Structure 1
Amino acid sequence: MSAPTTEPRPEETMSRSFDDLVAEADAASVDGWDFSWLDGRASEERPSWRFSELLGRRLASVPSSLDLETGGGEVLDTAPVLPPLAAATESWPPNLARAAARLHPRGVVVVRTEEGAVLPFADDSFALVSSRHPVAVDWTDVARVIAPGGSYLAQHVGPASVFELVEAFLGPQPEAVRRARHPDDEADGARAAGLDIVCLRTERLRIEFHDVGAIVWFLRKVIWMVPGFTSAQYLDRLQELHRSLQEDGPFVAHSTRTLIEARKPAR
């Protein structure tokens, strides 16, 4: 999503009917990991560390890299320079095709993986392993493929991210669910796998949804927020949100993002 703006919502969006907004959002493609469909309809603050730029600088300084859960390759492709040996993994077929089309011309090997499966790479293969918003991290396997002295550099989704929206549909969530992906727990997992924590930072960032179509499209794309979401299933709740958006302004939520760098000790 784009950076926050203080400009008023487009008048044409505010005046459109509920049925029109929902139908448009239901028909729009959610392939890849591009959120530009939300431009002008939702906004999100960005973490201060500027992950894409940080990753680009690191990639220019290492001989080999692996980008995990690369999506459509959008973030990796922003790097001005890629290492001589660069690989990426993805498990969702539509994203895999997009990543291959985007990254193959830049010399990146794109490998299909299965969620929960061991990474199909030899031990000590990569000087840098990266990821932006991985679903889950198998720290033991990640540590295995990092070369001695190499690093894992990633931006993770933090605990209770966008839970204002989640709980608007699912109701209050248990504390154990809210704590999932806590940075302290992730750091403990990395240390248990033999990695040293170099950096651990978390920020809470404001999100605004300006129309109900933006909410529908977001929940269709980020499928783990409200599992099994369809507009038909939650029609009454969406109508309530539409009225609130029209009368009270944007729906405000907060994402959490964690920057984590962990290093494998040199032998």
Structure 2
Amino acid sequence: MGHPRSHRSFEDLVAEGAAVPTDGWDFSWFEGRATEARPSWGYAVSLAQKLAGATAALDLQTGGGEVLDFALGHAPKAPALTVATEGWAPNVAKAAALLRPRGVAVVASPEPDPLPFADGAFDLVSSRHPVQAHWTEIARVLEPGGSYFAQHVGPHSVVELVEYFLGPQPDDVRNGRDPKRERADAEAAGLEVVDLRAEELRIEFHDIAAVVHFLRKVIWMVPGFTVEAYEPQLRSLHRRIQDEGPFVAHSTRHLIEARKPR
């Protein structure tokens, strides 16, 4: 049977999905209307342990600062210095408000500009779901013996939803962000990859509001997405969810740790 919310009208659900604010990297609004399995390694908890052993830490593309805030809150001890960067103005303000009480400086640093930090300034650089990892800059700001610890979005992530709206995608799009290629790029920048793990995870969208909000929030999935531009596809997908139940897709994630040789 369909989800109880699936009996609401298309217009009502789409209006709700279109009205939810998209700033920050908090996905709690999806509770009960979309689900995504989590990677087995528990990135935020693992990051807390890494932070406890660091003296100067940098979190790249921190979003609204939610993951770093959680990790610092669960770290047995915090680094003496923690800095975060973010390129999107609404998130810069949100991250600064959230992280300032923890003594974290948030720096507005658009991608892919060079990082505004000295060579070897940090012994830990972290990132969760960067749009792209700029390996030469990461290697430059790490001190010898320092580590990059991150969770990246992998290849063909949520490709079922992307191709529902955009049709079949070319191989370079489907297979971008391949962990093997990222290993090669990290090594080319002079880093040694000490851990690399990948998993595929099930996602379910229980109503069309969740699809609309997801595509407004994760803007690179369907570039230029608006409800008006994709109304026929949205209407058809709404009927499909009503008739068949949740729309199922799969995300891919990889955990990567790379060390700068001493």
* TM-score range for the pair, normalised by the shorter chain length: over 0.9
Aligned equivalents of 2:3, 2:203: Cα separation in 1:
17
How big is the shift at 1:36?
0.9
Q: Which residue in 1 is equivalent to 2:23? A: 31
Given candidates 11, 14, 35, the residue that maps to 1:22 is 14
TM-score, scaled to structure 2: 0.97
Equivalent residues of 1:9, 1:41 under 8 A apart: no
Q: Which residue in 2 is equivalent to 1:67? A: 59
Equivalent residues of 2:2, 2:242 under 8 A apart: no
Gaps of 5+ in 1: 1-7
* Alignment length (residue pairs): 258
Q: Which residue in 2 is equivalent to 1:100? A: 96
1:260 paired with 2:256, answer yes
Q: 1:11-40, CA deviations, whole angstroms, 9 ceiling, x for partnerless residues? A: 2x1210000000111111111111111110
Q: Which residue in 2 is equivalent to 1:203? A: 199
Q: 1:183-203, CA deviations, whole angstroms, 9 ceiling, x for partnerless residues? A: 000000000000001001110
Q: Which residue in 2 is equivalent to 1:5? A: none
Equivalent residues of 2:152, 2:255 under 8 A apart: yes
Secondary structure at 2:25's aligned position in 1? coil
Q: Which residue in 2 is equivalent to 1:4? A: none
1:189 paired with 2:181, answer no
Q: Which amino acid aligns with 2:156?
A: A
Given candidates 163, 168, 173, the residue that maps to 2:169 is 173
Q: 1:16-71, CA deviations, whole angstroms, 9 ceiling, x for partnerless residues? A: 00000001111111111111111100000000000000000110111110000000
Given candidates 103, 107, 116, the residue that maps to 1:120 is 116
Aligned equivalents of 1:102, 1:251: Cα separation in 2:
34
Q: Which amino acid aligns with 1:96?
A: V
Aligned equivalents of 1:251, 1:20: Cα separation in 2:
19
Q: Which amino acid aligns with 1:262?
A: A
How big is the shift at 1:127?
0.7
After alignment, is 81-90 or 247-256 more displaced?
A: 81-90
Q: Which amino acid aligns with 1:77?
A: D
TM-score, scaled to structure 1: 0.95
Secondary structure at 1:130's aligned position in 2? strand
1:212-227 correspondence runs (5 A): 212-227=208-223
Given candidates 103, 106, 110, the residue that maps to 1:110 is 106
Equivalent residues of 2:2, 2:244 under 8 A apart: no
Secondary structure at 1:75's aligned position in 2? helix
Equivalent residues of 1:127, 1:150 under 8 A apart: yes
How big is the shift at 1:113?
0.4
CA RMSD of aligned residues (A): 0.9
Q: Which amino acid aligns with 1:138?
A: H
How big is the shift at 1:9?
6.3
Percent of aligned pairs sharing the same letter: 62
1:133 paired with 2:125, answer no
Aligned equivalents of 2:3, 2:95: Cα separation in 1:
33
Q: Which amino acid aligns with 1:22?
A: V
